[in-house]
Amino acid sequence: MTIETAIERLRKTLGPAIDTSDANRRLHGQNESYFPEILPNGVASPASTAEVAEIVRICADEACPIVPWGTGTSLEGNALAVRGGLTLDLSRMNKVLEVVPDDMIAVVQPGVTREALNTELRATGLFFPVDPGANASLGGMAATRASGTTAVRYGTMRENVLALEAVLADGRIVRTGSRAPKSAAGYDLTKLLVGSEGTLGILTELTLRLRGQPEAISAARAPFPTVGAAVDAVIQIIQMGIAVARIELVDRVAIDAFNRHFKTDMPLRPHLFLEFQGSPAGVAEQAETVREISAEHGAAAFDWATDAEERRALWKMRHNGFYAMKALFPGWGAVTTDVCVPISRLAEALATAEQDILASGLVGPIVGHVGDGNYHAALMVEPGNETQLATAKAVAARMAEKAIALGGTVTGEHGIGMGKMAYMAAEHGPGWQVMAELKRALDPGNILNPGKVVDLN
């Protein structure tokens, strides 16, 4: 019962789909955050659900940890093999298996990325709306319950995964949910697996909800005098039930970084970046109402991105904000935060965070999916600067504690991974122990992404 025996047995069964080369192990030991490199003992690249089940059975037999891997774009070390073992790279399972336009669903393998799916859907008039920025795999997005800029309108992966196929810790293949839009038939295993970060099962097939491509889209950006004024406008917009497709806060520090990296000249003020989708008349009505609300809250302008190209440029800037920061500080890492609070407490939470970052001396722009109460600071850290790392972690910790105190969560969309384990007891209370009981029931040997989400001690 060792990892080495597991890998030997897997090699015999699966041949070249098991790779223990240093190059491949290092590729799967990286992360986009500040966590140090952690190498798995080997990398498996299965091509089918049957192969995944075979791998899991052997690993269960040998008590070898298995860590699922999509594109490696997670930000909390979610896919790092902290207890060694096998990284299960699902990128070869990248087929769109079926699109049913009448049901507005797509069935995909877990390695399909969201951009690949949307490319394939282009001719159908449908699209998959969840957009975390990175071109993540849909399996990874489901596993971390990802969301992003469009969640305010279309929901997160929680709302957009209709059914799953998964391989459990003993190699059983189960199907959860159905193609019916809703069901009251027992425990919602789909929603239990979404967000479980590979600790309860390995997602091998996803049935996703699609939406009709909107007839009309328009986007705008508006500078506000303060973050508080912008948030007050957002609260009013949400309360009026205006179904904005995106409503993003970009703070002054982030605007400065964007201006420098993207060569823009936006005023150095907190901004809202907005998008409206719908019928031409609906979009016009929404946009005008939002413009009025923004003006009432002191927005100095409301600059339209009139054509598709300008719109793409706006969202490219927002989506690549994190990479833009990293480009301004080449080689630096970032402690990223991901708190999400009730929208009524958002202004208070943001003001506290901004002051704390300012006082810390760190560079830490804030961007946020403010329609959901979710925002991120990217606290830039120079490699090897332990004092700076400690300062960044302390600022991040205070943001997390504040979010819990305000009735929120320490992670709106990045998941727990390695970075948020320390807050689970405070956030969930006795509920965290219940999660451990569920994990023990479904993975008694603790082989699926051990060390993540729950504490089994």
For residue 275, the cross-strand partners are 219, 246
Cβ proximity to a second copy, 65 vs 412, nearer residue: 412
Count, residues in the chain: 457
Cβ proximity to a second copy, 434 vs 456, nearer residue: 434
In the chain, % helix, strand, coil (3-state, to 5) comes to 40, 20, 40
Using CB under 8 A, which of 144, 204, 294, 388 touches a second copy?
A: 144
**Minimum distance between the CB of residue 173 and a second copy, rounded to whole angstroms?**
7
Cβ proximity to a second copy, 159 vs 303, nearer residue: 159
Using CB under 8 A, which of 4, 98, 115, 188 touches a second copy?
A: 188
CA distance 363 to 254: 10
262 contacts a second copy (rule: CB under 8 A): no
Cβ proximity to a second copy, 40 vs 415, nearer residue: 415
412 contacts a second copy (rule: CB under 8 A): yes
Per-residue binding string, a second copy, 92-131, x by CB under 8 A, is: --------xxxxxx--------------------------
CA distance 202 to 43: 15
> How many CB atoms lie under 10 A from the CB of residue 214?
17
**Minimum distance between the CB of residue 440 and a second copy, rounded to whole angstroms?**
7
- Using alpha carbons only, what angle is made at residue 381 by residues 394 and 148, rounded to the nearest 5 degrees? 80
Q: Where are the beta strands (DSSP E) in 232-327?
A: 246-250, 271-278, 303-305
Q: Which of residues 287-346 bind a second copy (CB under 8 A)?
A: 338, 340-344
**Do 255 and 269 contact (CB within 8 A), yes or no?**
yes
Reading the block at residue 23, the tokens are: 């190059």
409 contacts a second copy (rule: CB under 8 A): yes
Q: Which of residues 269-288 bind a second copy (CB under 8 A)?
A: 278-279, 281-282, 285
414 contacts a second copy (rule: CB under 8 A): yes
Using CB under 8 A, which of 121, 167, 317, 410 touches a second copy?
A: 410
434 contacts a second copy (rule: CB under 8 A): yes
CA distance 357 to 364: 6
Task: Please identify, among the stretches 6-14, 49-57, 187-195, 381-389, the one whose residues bind a second copy according to the rule CB under 8 A.
Answer: 187-195
456 contacts a second copy (rule: CB under 8 A): no
How many residues in the shown chain lie near a second copy by CB under 8 A?
A: 91
Reading the block at residue 246, the tokens are: 């995106």
450 contacts a second copy (rule: CB under 8 A): no
448 contacts a second copy (rule: CB under 8 A): no
**Minimum distance between the CB of residue 166 and a second copy, rounded to whole angstroms?**
9
The 3 state secondary structure assigned to 81-137 is CCCCCEEEECCCCCCEEEEEHHHCEEEECCCCEHHHHHHHHHHHCEECCCCCCCCCE
Q: Which of residues 210-239 bind a second copy (CB under 8 A)?
A: 211-212, 214, 235, 238-239
Q: In what order do the strands lie in the sheet with 42-44?
A: 18-19, 42-44, 86-89, 66-69
Cβ proximity to a second copy, 275 vs 413, nearer residue: 413
Maximum distance among all Cα pairs of the chain, rounded to whole angstroms: 69
Query: CA dist 409 to 199, 328, 344, 426, 427, Å?
Result: 20, 30, 14, 10, 7
158 contacts a second copy (rule: CB under 8 A): yes
CA distance 117 to 114: 5
**Minimum distance between the CB of residue 444 and a second copy, rounded to whole angstroms?**
10
386 contacts a second copy (rule: CB under 8 A): no
Q: Which of residues 44-103 bind a second copy (CB under 8 A)?
A: 100-103
Cβ proximity to a second copy, 17 vs 404, nearer residue: 404
Cβ proximity to a second copy, 59 vs 453, nearer residue: 453
Residue (of 395, 396, 400) closest to 412 by Cα position? 400
Which residues are CB-contacts of 303 (< 8 A; sequence separation ≥ 6)?
A: 220, 221, 222
**Minimum distance between the CB of residue 196 and a second copy, rounded to whole angstroms?**
6
DSSP summary character for residue 214: P
**Minimum distance between the CB of residue 263 and a second copy, rounded to whole angstroms?**
34
374 contacts a second copy (rule: CB under 8 A): yes
28 contacts a second copy (rule: CB under 8 A): no
380 contacts a second copy (rule: CB under 8 A): no
Cα 153 to chain centroid distance, Å, stands at 16
